Structure 1
Amino acid sequence: MVDLAVLGPLAAYGAGRTELPLGGPRQRAVLARLLVARRQVVPLPRLVADLWDGEALPRDPEGAVRTFVAALRRVLEPGRRPRTAAKLLVTEGPGYALRAAVDDVDAWRFERAARADEAAPALVETLEGALALWRGPAFADVAAAPWARAEAARLESLRLHVVERAAGALLARGGAARAVPDLEEFVATHPAREEGWRLLALALYRSGRQADALSALRRVRRTLDVRLGVEPGARLSRLEQDILRQAPHLDPAPEGGGQVWARAAEAYTRALPVADRSRLRTAAALMRDVAVTGGEGLSTAREHRLAAVAEARRYGDAELTARVIGVYDVPALWTRSDDPVRAARLVAAAEDVLRELPPEREAERARLLATVAVESRGAAAGARSLRAAREAEALARRLGDPGLLAFALNGAFVQSFARAPGGAGGGPGRARAGGDAGRDALGAELVAVAGAAGLVPHEVLGLLVRTQARCGLGDFAGAEECAAAADALAARHELPLVRVFTTWFRALRASLSGGGWEPYEEAVALLPGCGMPGFATGLPALARLTVALRSGQQPAGEGDFGPYEPWVRPLLDAYGGAGRAEVARAVAATPEPPGDHLTEVLRGLTALARQLVGEAGSGGPTGLVGAGSGVVALEIPAAGGPRGGRAH
């Protein structure tokens, strides 16, 4: 994953926010030019013309561009295997395109945030977060180039509009006094923007500064007259008259949730010193609440959570760090981590604190163990994760704390997919009674425990666990009952991510009933911006492949299979006409899939590839497999090969 930044000098960041070397000016300009094209193909001759723009061309300009592209690919996709197709900076037709996702480019994230609905409860935070992405003028190091000028100007215009929207939203929730300093700076920098002056005058008036508000309106009148020779517009003139007569509608609206939040936050800030440990604990708890909003909130929470843990470690207080780590009991349904690097750091921190914490601090130890179990799910699972899940559950039951038990059961659930260390044949092991029946029972207990204690997010988690488990057991009607109950709770308590999982379940159910690919279209549309790359990456292409295989069609193999590529590729090679021996070697080299939701699907793909090359006694699953994922499933024939292709 690479984060590309253009809201300032061009930059690219890898894991841990390490800045990547993008090379010299023209190589950097290639990347900037492709970003300006917004995923569209830029023909090679166009790239040459834009890069040298009237300057003397080198001996082989097209060769130079190809060299720049190759160097950028090495930087942006360091893990790409030799002779495999690039997935980010791709060659297509007559030129190149940068197929970055919206979440991977700061300008695109900014534009998405700029479109936030006026009724959004966290509108101020969303817009201020978007503005914080700016590090300087957009495309700063190439802004003089004709091809960058219009895009840089468009983004700057949008930035100014977002500044005004953020100020207006802050005024609407009672933050007039806080808005004044930023608006003063804004109108000083952009004196011709009448909306900025209007907001400043209104903020001053609502702060009890009527004379200053009128003075601001006189200033803008003089400014517009001197600079442009025009009078203020109708909105400014009307505001001046309203202030003079102290019109009632200028007063802020009755205090709602936004104003209550703003006043409480200001009081909290005044009451506690900056370095107070209570602030750190509160910030960690806040990140837990932000995470369940999904999308940008989930991504932001992951980042700030690790920062809070690092800050807690600086105090050298094991109990404080344990609370900061353990308070983040956000339900985790999917067994592939959204951010494996950060997850590994959290697990390491939790294990360090476990060694330092006194044995009698059982509640803190249980939360740390549950954190290890949840964060080391899927590919990162191992013997220590299974032990952590068992110990957390045992401690939680002995302590009788329903919140702690719900968190521990979450760890037990994600570890129920893990392969037991040293198990026969490397088969799946269980941290608890396993399989879909065991997970259904675990989900039912989660619903009961969380429901009785009013722990809505974990009650919803239990319903989603049961939705998946009932799918795996072939009880789609029962799964629909659980999904409907999860949707109802999510709507009542504003948990937007739930809809992503229930929509994918319904797409699977409809597709298995003969609906083909069409039911998946709505589900795929929910993935961009959901904040769950561990769930979203590779899933659309995998779903399309499973639909094609179930319907006996020749799989096209198009799209990004992400982490599932090693298990998909041998099968696609077989359908694509690769030699039998070549496919057999690829199948033999296919690794055992990690213990997660899609283990059975990936094993099924390997079984289909073996059938296709006619391997006798290949074993493996048969019938409908993988439905327990709640998102995709395969149909494995008991004998013979899948229809539609043949290796030779």
Structure 2
Amino acid sequence: MQVQFGVLGPVVAWDGAGDAIALKGPRHRAVLARLIIARRRVVPVFRLVEDLWTDPPADAVGAVRTFVAALRRALEPERPPRAPARLLLTEGPGYALRAEPGAVDAWRFEQAVAATATLPPKEVFARLEEALGWWRGPAYAEFADQPWVRAERSRLAELRLHAVERQAEARLGLGLAAEAVPDLDAHVAEHPWREDAWRLLALALYRTGRQGDALAVLRRARTLLVEQLGVDPGPGLRGLEADILGHAAHLAPAPGPGGAAGRVWAQTAAAYDRTVPSGARVRLESTVGLLRNLAVTGGSGLQAARRHRVAAVAAAEELGDAELTARVIGVYDVPAIWTRVDDPEQAAQVVAAAERTLTALPPGGHEAARARLLATIALESRGPLPQARRAGRTPSARGPQAARQAEEIARRLDDAALLAFALNAVFMQTFHRAGLAPRRDEIGVELVALSARHGLATSEVLGHLIRLQARSALADFPGADHHATAADRLAERHELPLVGVFTQWYAALRTAATGPAAAAEAEAAYRNAAARLDGAGMPGLEHGLLPLALLCLRVQHAQPAQAEEHTDWGPYEPWARPLALLAQDRRSEAAAALRKVPDPPHDLLFEALWCLTAQAAIAVGDRQTMERAYIQLTPAAAELAGAGSGLLTLGPVSKHLSDLATALRRPR
């Protein structure tokens, strides 16, 4: 598999699986760096000696050969002895690294920047966002003081600065002037001699309604250039100042999709920033409201929303105002469909803050705030919460209690939005045993009707996804199809991209449930769905899910598990490992692993993991585990194992119960 090289930061190499390759000492990395700089051309041995040592030792040539030999072993570990090298070649008087054009991050970066010359702003921004993310520090970081790297470092640094400014220009072209200001402000502070950066910053400020700030920036640039360099600003800065003073029409954002919305956003944000004092408490509530909207975009937006949400809650608590803290915590009513917490420690912090705030609220009144705090506790109490354990209270006891209390208050207050939030919490606490798909379907029915009546779009989507899961568990695929279509339609109308992740996984499950003839098609569908998870911002969902889905597909069709030794099962490893060992004919190890398997967590995959455990127990003759599996799975006899997740299935639970009954010699 192709080796990748990184020089946009410390010099590194990665194998085809993305793992770092051990490159030994600094002179080994220096040889590699020097060959990368040569861009596939031959570097004579004498040149390498001169570059590596100021005062070369007597055996310098031999040392270089030793370094090259070690690099070859690291870069091509599976090359047979005496077979010719394919990557680091000996040619004539020296060596050449024949890396592919896309194998070096610096080369890819250069190509990406060049490609943006003819692209529209949206594609420019996206491509440069990705390319700038490849930088891990200054280029060739550990060789900054070496003469042989100086010119290349300077060239790459200049190219990076150009890319930053090109991306800022694309932002302005998309009507995102307010978002461009902070980055440009930092950019000119670090690189004050770049006139184009000053021009872009002033233009961004002008487009956000900050004409005075824009002119001040231009005057600051002029003062700096005159006093420090003794030169006047160039025509770009002079022309922009004249255009701003004359309110030139061409300075307005170009018309296009989102242009008007972008201008309104920028002007409103600027007005808010000017009008509301920086220390005002209302800013915290406004911030969390924005974070709520940011979360439903998925990807980096969801991750940023989670991170800043905790900071906002902490800031509210520092002010000592329980009512404000309750509002800051409670306004983040982001719908939740997945039952495993992405960040348990962060969830524990939110739960602890909500519990403290409940206690601190003055008695009497504040019922809606209490309900939102209780719903938050129930939603964030999915999975093991360290804070709850330290307090001597199990999450399974507190979560359902909090959900019930939130629902009671919401119904008493007749508050539709609050009830939708509470029903989401109730849904998250309906996994204490198997066979509860009908109950979850009832919640979904009410949530869809309630949300449609009151225009609660995100809650209506949640209701359809809950019903999609429940109807899948009950093998009602026409019904599940209806809810998948409804969820996709709402998601498109209200710009909710995360919904497509779940409906694509459902489509793969739907294919897997059609029978053995579709196994290959189902595997391909699962792999495509897994690719959709990459960067979706839900690590609690993505890690290990694809291997688990493929394992369930194999077990469903009575095929052995994946036998690859290095399969990353993620959090599902305890339940997958016995079957993987059985596939390798390691029966005694499988039996030992099965004895260590914990009970599955009470979540959307509860029945699926019990079915995997049951099949492993049958294979090794573990009667005690078979008995436990039979008892746990019996309430779900009418459901499809795992299909309640909307992600995967092992076929009818009744089939697994029948297998257990046969192995236990029970009457069916």
Q: Same fold judged by TM-score > 0.5?
A: yes
Which residue pairs with 1:586 in the alignment?
593
**Map 1:248-397 → 2, pairs under 5 A:** 249-253=250-254, 256-357=260-361, 358-380=363-385, 381-397=395-411
Task: Indicate the larger mover: 551-560 or 459-468.
Answer: 551-560
Which residue pairs with 1:574 in the alignment?
582
SS in 1 for 2:475: coil
Deviations 1:78-130 (A, max 9, x none): xxxxxxxxxxxxx9868xxxxxxxxxxxx9xx99x999996769x79x99999
1:631 to 647, 660, 665: 647
- TM-score normalized with structure 1 length: 0.71
Deviations 1:529-570 (A, max 9, x none): 100011111101111211222233332244321111111111
Q: Aligned equivalents of 2:11 and 2:179: distance in 1?
A: 42
**Map 1:37-56 → 2, pairs under 5 A:** 40=18, 44=22, 50-51=28-29, 54=52
Which residue pairs with 1:547 in the alignment?
553
Q: How much has 1:355 moved relative to structure 2?
A: 1.1
How many correspondences in the alignment? 546
Pair 1:407-2:421 in alignment: yes
Which residue pairs with 2:467 in the alignment?
466
Q: Residues 205 and 450 from structure 1, CA distance in 2 versus in 1: closer, same or farther, beyond 3 angstroms?
A: closer
Q: Aligned equivalents of 1:362 and 1:119: distance in 2?
A: 48
Q: How much has 1:151 moved relative to structure 2?
A: 9.0
Q: Aligned equivalents of 1:180 and 1:595: distance in 2?
A: 45
Which residue pairs with 1:529 in the alignment?
535
Q: Residues 524 and 136 from structure 1, CA distance in 2 versus in 1: closer, same or farther, beyond 3 angstroms?
A: closer
Q: How much has 1:170 moved relative to structure 2?
A: 3.5
Pair 1:602-2:618 in alignment: no
Q: Residues 411 and 150 from structure 1, CA distance in 2 versus in 1: closer, same or farther, beyond 3 angstroms?
A: farther
Q: Aligned equivalents of 1:391 and 1:284: distance in 2?
A: 24
SS in 1 for 2:451: helix
Task: Indicate the larger mover: 41-50 or 608-617.
Answer: 41-50
- What code does the residue aligned with 1:607 have? A
Which residue pairs with 1:503 in the alignment?
504
Task: Indicate the larger mover: 202-211 or 337-346.
Answer: 202-211
Which residue pairs with 1:88 in the alignment?
none
Q: How much has 1:196 moved relative to structure 2?
A: 4.3
Which residue pairs with 1:23 in the alignment?
none
Identity of aligned residues (%): 44
- TM-score normalized with structure 2 length: 0.69
2:573 to 557, 565, 573: 565
- What code does the residue aligned with 1:285 have? G
SS in 1 for 2:340: coil
1:347–1:372 Cα contact (<8 Å) kept: yes
Q: Aligned equivalents of 2:608 and 2:561: distance in 1?
A: 16
Deviations 1:35-66 (A, max 9, x none): 77795466556767525865899xxx9xxx9x
2:14–2:20 Cα contact (<8 Å) kept: no
Q: Residues 476 and 163 from structure 1, CA distance in 2 versus in 1: closer, same or farther, beyond 3 angstroms?
A: same
Deviations 1:495-532 (A, max 9, x none): 00000000000011012222330121221110111000
1:174–1:262 Cα contact (<8 Å) kept: yes
1:545–1:557 Cα contact (<8 Å) kept: no
- What code does the residue aligned with 2:607 have? E
SS in 2 for 1:286: helix
1:554–1:575 Cα contact (<8 Å) kept: yes
1:167–1:199 Cα contact (<8 Å) kept: yes
Gap regions ≥5 residues in structure 1: 1-5, 11-31, 66-90, 95-106, 227-231, 420-426, 429-433, 643-648
SS in 2 for 1:161: helix
Q: Aligned equivalents of 1:593 and 1:211: distance in 2?
A: 62
Q: Residues 583 and 253 from structure 1, CA distance in 2 versus in 1: closer, same or farther, beyond 3 angstroms?
A: closer
- What code does the residue aligned with 1:412 have? V
SS in 2 for 1:526: helix
- Greater C-alpha Rg: 2
Q: Aligned equivalents of 1:509 and 1:261: distance in 2?
A: 42
Q: Aligned equivalents of 1:194 and 1:237: distance in 2?
A: 11
Q: How much has 1:169 moved relative to structure 2?
A: 1.9
Q: How much has 1:164 moved relative to structure 2?
A: 3.4
Q: Aligned equivalents of 1:315 and 1:205: distance in 2?
A: 35
1:33–1:148 Cα contact (<8 Å) kept: no
Q: How much has 1:378 moved relative to structure 2?
A: 3.1
Q: How much has 1:364 moved relative to structure 2?
A: 0.6
Q: How much has 1:316 moved relative to structure 2?
A: 0.8
Q: Aligned equivalents of 1:7 and 1:292: distance in 2?
A: 36
1:143–1:152 Cα contact (<8 Å) kept: no
SS in 2 for 1:492: helix
Q: Aligned equivalents of 1:370 and 1:575: distance in 2?
A: 44
Deviations 1:384-443 (A, max 9, x none): 1111111111111111101100000000001111x3xxxxxxx45xxxxx7111101100
Q: Residues 244 and 468 from structure 1, CA distance in 2 versus in 1: closer, same or farther, beyond 3 angstroms?
A: closer
SS in 1 for 2:580: helix
Q: How much has 1:171 moved relative to structure 2?
A: 6.5
- What code does the residue aligned with 2:542 have? A
Deviations 1:336-383 (A, max 9, x none): 001111000000110111111124321111000000000011344410
2:469–2:643 Cα contact (<8 Å) kept: yes
Q: Aligned equivalents of 1:464 and 1:354: distance in 2?
A: 31
Q: How much has 1:199 moved relative to structure 2?
A: 4.0
